[in-house]
Structure 1
Amino acid sequence: MQPIFDFFFDQYSGYPTFFIVLEIIAVIFGFLSVWYSKQNNILVYPTGIVSTLIFVYLLWQWELLGDMMINAYYFSMSIYGWYIWTRKVDPTHYTPITSTTHREKYQSVFIFIATLIFVFGVYEYFDKWNNWTAYVDTLTTAIFFVGMWLMAKRKLENWIYWIIGDLISVPLYFYKGLTFTSLQYLVFTIIAIYGYKAWKRNLRNDLRPA
């Protein structure tokens, strides 16, 4: 049992206790945020804001710039999404779950490519191409940027981006030595799959004639 424990958590041996506690708190609020998103609950945003603020601080300390930018972007998009989700499209209905339009698909591609270029430029400027994880980090940043934008607009397809990005992030964060965060993304993957099914079912119900 001890070798298994050491395999997963030995990388924390040199971390300050304060950082470990912060990561656990951020992971808990991250779980809550994704769960509330699956439930189509507005609490996805306040819980997400707490998680992302903590991760911005931690990732800055760990010099993981791409990951830090993801969470800074999550924070800003959480505020935008909070507004969209509470905005009424008419006197009695809030913004509904919908599928992406052709225009939004093109916009998603643009955001993906623009993010790749931006993150590449940041890593180039700070000379952070010192590990293969930087290239994967650039890719996941672009994937998650699109996913967060689509979620804020309550688009069903946001879950597809989360699933892909989460699957990549599980081994990536474990390799980086962030076991709790890696486990978080594993659970995120499972919740995202169920979230896609739940939102798709919700969308079908909305489309049914009254």
Structure 2
Amino acid sequence: MGEFFQHILEQFLAITWIEWFGVVTGALCVYLAAKENMLNWPIAILSVITYIYIFYNAKLYGDTILQFYFLGTSVYGWYYWTYGKATDLKSERPIGILKPKDWGIITLILIVFSVLVGYLLKKYTDTDVPYIDAFCTVTSFIAQYLLTRKKLENWLIWIFVDIIYIPLYIHKNLLATSVLYFVFLFIALKGYLDWKKNYLKAHGLKPKVESI
């Protein structure tokens, strides 16, 4: 047991400043997203650029590609939260929820692309976790898209994938990042509860259902 804690301590001492920067900006942007604060998007851009470097060096190629996606969706989300489908350009995008058929589409996309991306990572890269990397990447793609569209259920998907990411990053010796995703887990839970409260307040007991 003593050797285990010694190993954990050594990992913490070996954490680079760039990983700490990614951790701090990453935690801040998710916290602000949960609060529906527009500043989450520019801060997310800083975190994403940092993690492109970190994940590439950790041979998490699926996550590296995911960061480029996050970069694009951060710009898109910043615009969409401000102006998307608003009758008044000064009005922010309201929270929406998914239809039952949307979950079927999401499940199909998750299965097909996880297998496809996992196969490509196994065949063309030197990663030792191709299918787990692929599954988490595709799940995060979906969750991030739903976040940009301000769908309540994005937080449920983030909770699910954060639980998987924590041991994955420990396996890759990204201890600070695994701690970050542990924090993400609780922020996502709080985000879901807060968004649900705001949604019900805006729509009453019979919330309007929107498609993706």
**Interval of TM-score (by shorter of Structure 1 and Structure 2):** 0.7 to 0.9
Q: TM-score, normalised by structure 2?
A: 0.85
Counterpart position of 2:209: none
Match of 1:173 among 160, 169, 174: 169
Counterpart position of 2:210: none
1:6 paired with 2:3, answer no
Counterpart position of 1:204: 200
Letter of the 1:142 counterpart = V
Spell out the pairing of 1:84-163 with structure 2 (5 A cutoff). 84-87=80-83, 89-91=86-88, 93-102=91-100, 104-128=102-126, 131=128, 133-163=129-159
Answer whether contact 1:12 1:177 (CA < 8 A) is retained.
no
Q: Distance in 2 between matches of 1:175 and 1:192?
A: 23
Answer whether contact 1:49 1:78 (CA < 8 A) is retained.
yes
1:25 paired with 2:8, answer no
Report the CA distance between 1:5 and its aligned residue.
5.3
Match of 2:160 among 164, 173, 197: 164
Q: Distance in 2 between matches of 1:153 and 1:105?
A: 15
Letter of the 1:33 counterpart = C
Spell out the pairing of 1:13-52 with structure 2 (5 A cutoff). 20-52=16-48
Q: Distance in 1 between matches of 2:94 and 2:105?
A: 20
Cα distance, 1:81–1:110 mapped onto 2, change above 3 Å: farther
Residue ranges of structure 1 left out of the alignment (5+ in a row): none
Q: Distance in 1 between matches of 2:7 and 2:138?
A: 30
Q: TM-score, normalised by structure 1?
A: 0.86
* Root-mean-square deviation (Å): 2.4
Answer whether contact 1:45 1:81 (CA < 8 A) is retained.
yes
1:94 is paired with a residue whose SS is coil
1:174 is paired with a residue whose SS is helix
Q: Distance in 1 between matches of 2:133 and 2:162?
A: 12
Letter of the 1:112 counterpart = L
Cα distance, 1:33–1:118 mapped onto 2, change above 3 Å: farther
1:193 paired with 2:173, answer no
Report the CA distance between 1:33 and its aligned residue.
0.6
